Amino acid sequence: MSDTPSNILPTADWQERIATLAMPVRGHLAARARHAPLFAHAYAFHLNMRFGGMTPLHLAEFARAQRLSGVKIHVEDGEQASLAAMSDIALSAFGAQIERLGLDLHVETSTTEAHGLSDAVRIALATGATSLRCYPRYEGRISQIIDWTIADLRRLTEFDPQGRLRYTLEQHEDLKSEELIRILEAVGNPRLGLLFDFGNMVNAHELPMSALEAQGPYISEVHVKDCLLQPDRGGWAHLACLSDEGHLPMRAMLVELLLLGTSRPQVTAFGLEEEEGYFAPALRFPAEEPDPFIAARPASFTDIGTGDLATRLEREAVAAHRQVDIIRAMLDEIAAEAERTER
């Protein structure tokens, strides 16, 4: 049998999973689904922020209009209007605008190297952000990448001595779950957790539900998206698509993520990261050597294509609005199923 998404992805029956839960747990699940902290993510407007003049403040206004809990924004989103391009005074003013809108701010960067990480911490603190996401983008053997990342993340206490920020390390297509956990345990920073992305594990040749199970005790934030799995040199690439039109068991993943945490929800932010058209190749393979080499790679981006720019930017904006509705509908489905007393 050839490897296709339908035969490598185990069936994940989210309704049956809910049916196995004790009634009090189902009650907690319903409440969490109805009050899940949804965040606008700048990558849902990646092309608009690169080519359409969209700014971080526009993203915040979108989040406010959609009644979301906050915004997740990369330090470089928005080109000349990005956080990285702002003065400290402008960063403080932006943070004040976020506060006036009643939103929480999470900042993201695509490195763990000292210079980039320390600058991202500076930006996050200047804006009054509460969280900073990072991930390594090194070229080298996996063992080297792990060692370098541990050394990098041990410096977080130096960059943020008062412990004002929470931090997340994202699985970003190269490291496997157990390697991420090894990094976290070696760093030993109680303010550092994992950010679980719905699709990035497939590039590291892991499956969504097994990766979620492995990372579960450490997950504090999430990127929500859908994608199509594509065979790639014996491994798997992913092509991001509209939510609920891909191969990922989105409802089953949402159920498990909402169940994390006992007295309070463990996941503090679900970033709505619609990425239609984003492509990421396979980076790990089933027959790879014990300590494989990861080649240098650029930061993530989506190709603008060759069609009409205005049409493409409008399509992206429509997709971002649509994802908010789709994820809310999924959460309503989960809540309704958890509230059923008979099956």
Tokens, residue 92 = 């403080």
Q: How confident is the model at residue 300 (pLDDT cuts 50, 70, 90)?
A: low
Q: What is the per-residue pLDDT across 158-211, written as a single tens digit (0 to 9) for each?
A: 999 999 999 999 999 899 999 999 999 999 999 999 999 999 999 999 999 999
Is residue 226 within 8 Å of residue 246, measured between CB atoms?
yes
Query: Which residue blocks in 164-273 are alpha helix, DSSP H?
Result: 177-187, 208-215, 250-259
Task: List CB contacts of 210: < 8 A, sequence separation 6 or more.
Answer: none
When mean pLDDT is compared across 107-121, 285-299, 311-325, the lowest value belongs to 285-299
Q: Looking at residue 7, what is its pLDDT?
A: 66
Residue with tokens 């996996």: 142
CA atoms within 13 Å, Cβ hemisphere of 85: 9
Is the model's pLDDT at 47 over the cut of 50? yes
For residues 224 and 7, the model is more confident at 224
Is the model's pLDDT at 343 over the cut of 80? no
Which of 302, 283, 327, 317 lies closest to 135, judged by CA?
A: 283
Q: What mean pLDDT do residues 18-40 have? A: 96
Average pLDDT, the chain: 94
| Cα–Cα distance, 65 to 61 (Å, whole number) | 6
Q: Looking at residue 1, what is its pLDDT?
A: 35
Is residue 231 within 8 Å of residue 196, measured between CB atoms?
no
Four-residue CA torsion sign, 267, 236, 107, 165 = positive
Q: How confident is the model at residue 77 (pLDDT cuts 50, 70, 90)?
A: very high
When mean pLDDT is compared across 10-19, 58-67, 120-129, 328-337, the lowest value belongs to 10-19
Is residue 270 within 8 Å of residue 260, measured between CB atoms?
no
Is the model's pLDDT at 255 over the cut of 70? yes
Q: Looking at residue 302, what is its pLDDT?
A: 83
Q: Looking at residue 4, what is its pLDDT?
A: 65
Is residue 173 within 8 Å of residue 280, measured between CB atoms?
yes
Other CB atoms within a 10 A radius of the CB of residue 96 amount to 12
Four-residue CA torsion sign, 95, 97, 100, 106 = negative
3-state SS of 277-327 is: CCEECCCCCCCCCCCCEECCCCCCCCCCCCCCHHHHHHHHHHHHHHHHHHH
According to DSSP, the residues that pair with 238 across neighbouring strands are 229, 280
Whether the predicted model's global pTM rises above the 0.85 cut: yes
Q: Looking at residue 87, what is its pLDDT?
A: 97
Is the model's pLDDT at 268 over the cut of 90? yes
3-class SS of residue 138: coil
Residue with tokens 């014990």: 290
CA atoms within 13 Å, Cβ hemisphere of 86: 25
Q: Looking at residue 129, what is its pLDDT?
A: 98
Residue with tokens 């130096």: 158
Is residue 91 within 8 Å of residue 75, measured between CB atoms?
no
Q: Which amino acid belongs to residue 53?
A: G
3-state SS of 11-77 is: CCCHHHHHHCCCHHHHHHHHHHHHCCCEEEEHHHHHHHHHHCCCCHHHHHHHHHHCCCCEEEEECCC
| Cα–Cα distance, 114 to 186 (Å, whole number) | 18
Of all residues in the chain, the percent with pLDDT exceeding 70 is: 96
Which of 211, 210, 208, 213 lies closest to 225, judged by CA?
A: 208
| Cα–Cα distance, 36 to 77 (Å, whole number) | 25
